[in-house]
Copies of this chain bind each other. A is one copy, B any other.
Amino acid sequence: MALGKDYATQECSIARALEIVGERWTLLVVRDALYGVRRYNDFLVHLGIPRAVLAARLQTLTAEGILEKRRYQESPPRDEYVLTERGIALWPTLRALGAWGREHFTDGRLRYFRHADCGTELGPYGECARCGTIVPVADVLMEPGPGLDPDPVDPISRALLKPRRLLEPMETDQA
């Protein structure tokens, strides 16, 4: 958010948060990371984001400790970007934002989020009404809804047609 004006005068943790994740595309990158996307190229294709912007976002997210860059093979050298604790902690925000967007601006259910242990659909705060608990991110099961119409040329889009747990890494190779 290095624009002439930052939110410096705002003594407010919302403003601080927005300085870090408030830029265009940033929260969508984090969303994809929660969905299990880890590689530069997968982000690129699934988001349709300009390459330069993606590189910039991955760098600042890494610098802020939200993603961690990690080598997963040596030859050829390839890195992946994995969410840290701090990044995973953005799930409630994304959940709330998504619930608001769905409630007010979307028709047709695009995805369902369920408690993997019992199959109950999550409430607006990411809680399981049946178990009476906040569901840990890794126990959230994501399923496609009827309103979903995936892009056939995008392997990530197709991979998201199967029920998956959040954070479970994508297997793009055999896609």
Contacts and interface: CB of A to CB of B under 8 A. Distances in A.
A135 to B, nearest CB: 12
A17 B93 contact: no
Q: Give the size category of A's interface with B.
A: 35 or more
Interface in A109-132: 110-111, 124-127
Interface stretch (A4-12, A54-62, A72-80, A167-175): A4-12
Interface centre among A9, A18, A95, A134 (most CB of B within 10 A): A18
Nearest to A149: B11
A125 B92 contact: yes
Contact of A22 (B24, B50, B105): B24
A6 to B, nearest CB: 10
